[in-house]
């Protein structure tokens, strides 16, 4: 009898797992449960789509025909409501039951609701997680001029950049003293602000809206510092609530997401987790970690597929995140101070030349980096991180890309 696999989620983790399983076994059964109505699309491309730099068809990565060609049975706009770990069975919102020999949970999360008092009285509030979210933001932005962006996260940054790129008057309010306050230092934050202000973004740092009201046809946010910001639509990024509900009662450990071992298996028999939802044992870090990057999710999906088929493979990778930065480039790699605050570091920067580089070390090994400006040398730095070799020369040498050749 052929193996039966069920995959919850059709993001890059779930899709990679499904296609890897199919490549290994032409006869196995693969069922995918997808909450959204779309085939796989490129979430990394959504900021470019928001900016109007790519068309929707360029965001899409798979067609319905390709699922059929690969022998993948997919059910769109469907949720797993229960995983019966004893019977090895998944039940769905449509009353279906799917038995499995191995199950992958790669459901990701949904944006946390706006946490600010009175925000439930503002109807024009948008999260930024899915293709449909992006389309809704674009449609509303075409009708308004003033936009309020809330939060100090990557998502908030992508919203601020995308909307100012569309010619909107953007005010960006964040609780911290600068963007990415747990990763960047003051100079790195200042360079981000310098780049953003040059594009027209108004920054409001170390502040938070404490009251919303409506006046003269506009919404108004009153901050703790006494500022009054008028806007027509609001978008925000304050993190995710992970879709762990189906795994409750299975025996899997829940800790914001689903806790796995180094092979991405949960404590529930034959149940694996991948992508944003996985609290995985990170061999590079030496403890559990949770990572919301595309590259990490893709690598998870591949390793999970191997292990669901019986390989017994440990997961190891260097997570990376690269995006634009108000006309420049931002790249984050490996372990950074938001994950492990006590890392040793070296840095170089120039406000005039608009670049910033900071490298992070633990026990004389390069474990992370953040770069603003041309990403020259990025691939070599990742190679050094993957090697886990001790750095014998002065650590400052690695700041110069010419020394990495």
Give 358-405 pLDDT, tens digit per residue: 999 999 999 999 999 998 999 999 999 999 999 999 999 999 988 886
Which pLDDT score is estimated for 227?
Answer: 95
Which pLDDT score is estimated for 404?
Answer: 81
Rounded to an integer, the average pLDDT of 71-98 is 97
Rounded-to-integer distance, Cα 190 and Cα 143, Å:
32
Poorest-confidence range of 70-79, 97-106, 120-129, 189-198? 120-129
Give 85-133 pLDDT, tens digit per residue: 999 999 999 999 999 999 999 999 999 999 898 888 888 899 999 999 9
What kind of fold does domain 119-236 have according to CATH?
FAD/NAD(P)-binding domain (3.50.50)
User: Is pLDDT above 70 for 1?
Assistant: no
* Among 282, 289, 159, 302, residue whose Cα is nearest residue 231: 159
**The model's pTM:** 0.94
Rounded to an integer, the average pLDDT of 1-13 is 94
CA dihedral for 269, 274, 278, 282, sign (positive or negative): positive
Give 331-360 pLDDT, tens digit per residue: 999 999 999 999 999 999 999 999 999 999
The arrangement of secondary structure in 335-404, i.e. its CATH architecture, is: 2-Layer Sandwich (3.30)
Domain ranges across the chain = 4-110+241-308, 119-236, 335-404
335-404 matches 4-110+241-308 in CATH topology: no
Which pLDDT score is estimated for 362?
Answer: 93
Rounded to an integer, the average pLDDT of 136-158 is 95
What kind of fold does domain 4-110+241-308 have according to CATH?
FAD/NAD(P)-binding domain (3.50.50)
How does the average pLDDT of the chain come out, rounded? Answer: 95
For the chain, give the percent of residues with pLDDT over 90.
91
Rounded to an integer, the average pLDDT of 32-47 is 96
Rounded-to-integer distance, Cα 386 and Cα 401, Å:
18
User: Is pLDDT above 90 for 170?
Assistant: yes
Tokens of 191: 């360079």
Which pLDDT score is estimated for 118?
Answer: 87
Identify the band that residue 285 occupies on the pLDDT scale cut at 50, 70 and 90: confident
């Amino acid at each position: 009898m052929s193996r039966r696999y069920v995959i919850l989620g059709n993001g890059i983790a779930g899709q990679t797992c499904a296609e890897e399983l199919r490549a290994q076994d032409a006869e196995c059964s693969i069922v995918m449960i997808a909450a959204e109505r779309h085939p796989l699309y490129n979430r990394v491309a959504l900021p470019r789509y928001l900016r109007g730099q790519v068309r929707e068809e360029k965001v899409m990565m798979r067609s319905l025909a390709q699922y059929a060609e690969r022998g993948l049975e997919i059910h769109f706009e469907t949720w797993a409501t229960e995983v019966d770990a004893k019977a090895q069975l998944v039940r769905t919102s449509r009353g279906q039951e799917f038995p499995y020999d191995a199950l992958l949970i790669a459901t990701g999360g949904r944006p946390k609701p706006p946490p600010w008092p009175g925000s439930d009285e503002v109807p024009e509030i948008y999260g930024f997680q899915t293709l449909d979210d992006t389309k809704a933001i674009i449609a509303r932005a075409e009708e308004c001029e003033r936009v309020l962006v809330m939060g100090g996260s990557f998502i908030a940054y992508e919203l601020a950049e995308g909307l100012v790129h569309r010619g909107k008057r953007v005010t960006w309010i964040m609780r911290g003293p600068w963007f990415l306050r747990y990763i960047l230092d003051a100079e790195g934050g200042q360079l981000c602000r310098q780049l953003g202000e040059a594009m027209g973004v108004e920054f409001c740092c170390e502040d938070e809206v404490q009251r919303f009201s409506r006046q003269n046809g506009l919404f108004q946010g009153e901050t703790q510092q006494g500022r009054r910001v008028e806007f027509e639509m609001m978008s925000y990024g304050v993190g995710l609530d992970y879709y762990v509900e189906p795994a409750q009662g299975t025996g899997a450990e829940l800790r914001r997401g689903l806790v796995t071992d180094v092979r991405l298996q949960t404590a529930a028999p034959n149940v694996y987790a991948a992508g944003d939802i996985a609290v995985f044992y990170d061999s590079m870090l030496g403890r559990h970690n949770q990572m919301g990057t595309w590259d990490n999710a893709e690598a998870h999906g591949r390793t999970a597929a191997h292990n669901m088929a019986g390989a017994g493979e440990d997961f190891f990778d260097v997570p990376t995140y690269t995006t634009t930065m108000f006309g420049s480039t931002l790249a984050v790699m490996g372990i950074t101070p938001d994950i492990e605050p006590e890392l040793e570091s070296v840095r170089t920067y120039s406000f005039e030349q608009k670049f910033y580089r900071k490298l992070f070390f633990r026990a004389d090994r390069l474990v992370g980096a953040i770069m603003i400006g041309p990403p020259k040398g990025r691939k070599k730095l990742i190679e050094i991180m993957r090697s886990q070799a001790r750095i014998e020369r002065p650590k400052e040498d690695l700041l110069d890309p010419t020394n990495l050749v």
